[in-house]
Amino acid sequence: MKRIGIFLGITFFLTWTLEFALMANGGLTSSYAIFVLSAVMLMPAISVVATRLITKEGFKDFGLKPHFKGNVRYYLAAWFGPAILIILGALFYFLIFPSQFDPTMSQMADAYAAQGMSLPEGTLFTLFITQLALGIFISPLLNIITTSGEEIGWRGYLLPKLMEMYSPRVSIVISGIIWGLWHAPIIAMGHNYGTGYPTAPWGGILAMVVFCLFVGSFFSYLAIKTKSFLPASIAHGSLNGMAAVSVFVTAGTPSPFIGPLPVGIIGGIGFILTGALCFISIGRQQSQRQE
């Protein structure tokens, strides 16, 4: 418990210091925002290193070994699973709200035009396909450094430490809640959910915690099965790369709490179901080992 406390103390202090400094200097509209948001993703990994040095724990069982043998299916699920779930969630959303589906991408074209960028015919579709291809095939690797910065901490260190004291299910829930709360300052600044909703910012923070519980269950399942944080990093990279792809074909101003983005309850239905199944599966496997 002492090591968990040190790790969380360092992680939240470093992360929230940077984010509150950003909040005081323009927030997400600041020209420095992208650099700050990228930097804070590295804080959990930095905190793991600091904790291991402070407590003289060393770096055994760091989780860096990929353990590919017998686990290829988990790596494939990590690479392609989030992209598939995001696409399915968006399709489900547009089936329920067909008026918000914009195959002509006219709203996106208007957004470019408002910035003084008049795109030739067909360019927007090419951008959409390019974004889709990059999200599916390249993003898991392209984002591996920043997502490993998080996953070394959450699924590589915190989760195994919690599992030394609690069951896998309880550990997944605790780590998911902590992961969600870690996002609180950027959610308060408007990341993912904006700022104009009635319960801001607490409603957005709560929604992020719920989102992290389900997504964290999926990521934790991958880490537990492979005994490595790497597939969670890959899945996290896929999620980050694909999260906003539905914006290209969205009309109007849908509620981010609903969809079509994966942080909405309908847009994220794939992650909700997958996370629940992973959570159930982990519990059943533990029960079978105890029998």
Contact assessment for residue 203 and residue 258, using Cβ atoms and an 8 Å cutoff: no
In a domain, 192, yes or no: yes
In a domain, 174, yes or no: yes
In a domain, 8, yes or no: no
In a domain, 54, yes or no: no
286 pLDDT band (50/70/90 cuts)?
A: low
Mean pLDDT of the 53-76 span: 89
Q: Which helix (H) or strand (E) holds 32?
A: none
Packed helices 230-242 and 72-96: angle between N→C axes, nearest 10 degrees: 30
Coil, helix or strand at residue 68: coil
Q: How far is the CA of 143 from the CAs of 38, 240, 242, in angstroms? A: 10, 8, 11
Longest CA pairwise span in the chain (Å): 66
**Which pLDDT value is given to residue 108?**
85
Q: How many residues would you count in the chain?
A: 291
Coil, helix or strand at residue 101: strand
When mean pLDDT is compared across 102-106, 143-147, 286-290, the lowest value belongs to 286-290
**Which pLDDT value is given to residue 121?**
66
Mean pLDDT of the 34-58 span: 95
Q: How far is the CA of 39 from the CAs of 16, 43, 80, 232, in angstroms? A: 12, 7, 26, 19
291 pLDDT band (50/70/90 cuts)?
A: very low
In a domain, 233, yes or no: yes
In a domain, 167, yes or no: yes
> Tokens representing 35?
């650099």
> Tokens representing 201?
């910012």
Q: Which long-range contacts (CB under 8 A, 24 or more apart) does 21-24 make?
A: 22/189, 23/185, 23/188, 23/189
285 pLDDT band (50/70/90 cuts)?
A: low
Coil, helix or strand at residue 3: helix
- 168 preceded by a cis bond (ω within 30 of 0): no
**Which pLDDT value is given to residue 35?**
95
**Which pLDDT value is given to residue 118?**
73
Contact assessment for residue 43 and residue 146, using Cβ atoms and an 8 Å cutoff: no
**Which pLDDT value is given to residue 287?**
52
Mean pLDDT of the chain: 93
**Which pLDDT value is given to residue 289?**
54
In a domain, 93, yes or no: yes
> Tokens representing 146?
């920043």
Q: Per the structure, how many domains does the chain have? A: 1
Q: Which amino acid is at 32?
A: Y
Whether 129 shows a pLDDT value over 50: the answer reads yes
In a domain, 126, yes or no: yes
Residue 115 to residue 93: CA distance in whole angstroms = 29
**Which pLDDT value is given to residue 120?**
73
The parent domain of residue 124 ranges over 62-290
Contact assessment for residue 262 and residue 239, using Cβ atoms and an 8 Å cutoff: yes
- 101 - beta bridge partners? 250
Residue pLDDT, tens place only, 166-216: 999 999 999 999 999 999 999 999 999 999 899 999 999 999 999 999 999
Write down the H helix ranges in 144-268. Answer: 144-153, 159-163, 168-182, 184-188, 202-226, 230-242
Residue pLDDT, tens place only, 215-274: 999 999 999 999 999 999 999 999 999 999 999 999 999 999 999 999 999 999 999 999
162 pLDDT band (50/70/90 cuts)?
A: very high
> Tokens representing 260?
């079509």
